[in-house]
Amino acid sequence: MVPNLEKVRVALEMYRQDHDGCYPPAPSTTLVSDSYLDVFPTDPFGYVYWYNAGPGAGSCSVENDVLSYELYAKMESSKNDMDGVSQNVSVECEKCPFVSTYKITNP
């Protein structure tokens, strides 16, 4: 899973370089349609990756682009996690539809 998230992070940074320091509001479609990724990676255990777009749409040259992001995922840290038992380690994500255990933010 971490290699998948690293691919997304690198693609987001490539997008940012090409778009005046701004990130896309919806990376799963934008990064693929703009050829930064061949396909948007999926979690091998069926969890979703959750993307929170930050503020800044008014400061970006592309409509709806943002100045920051947070990318969340659920990490499988033990055999029990693969059986659906939730972990007791979490990171703050108010909008996530799951208890996230891994977070990437823009540098």
For the chain, residues with pLDDT lower than 50 are: 78-88
Q: Are 27 and 12 in contact (CB under 8 A)?
A: yes
The three-state secondary structure class of 100 is: coil
What is the C-alpha to C-alpha distance for residues 1 and 20, in angstroms, rounded to an integer? 29
Sign of CA dihedral 106, 48, 24, 12: positive
Angstrom distances, CA of residue 52 to CA of 46, 48, 78, 83: 19, 13, 27, 27
C-alpha angle 88/90/22, rounded to 5°? Answer: 165
By C-alpha distance, which of 1, 21, 3, 19 is closest to 67? Answer: 21
Cα distances from 11 to residues 24, 37, 45, in angstroms, run 10, 7, 22
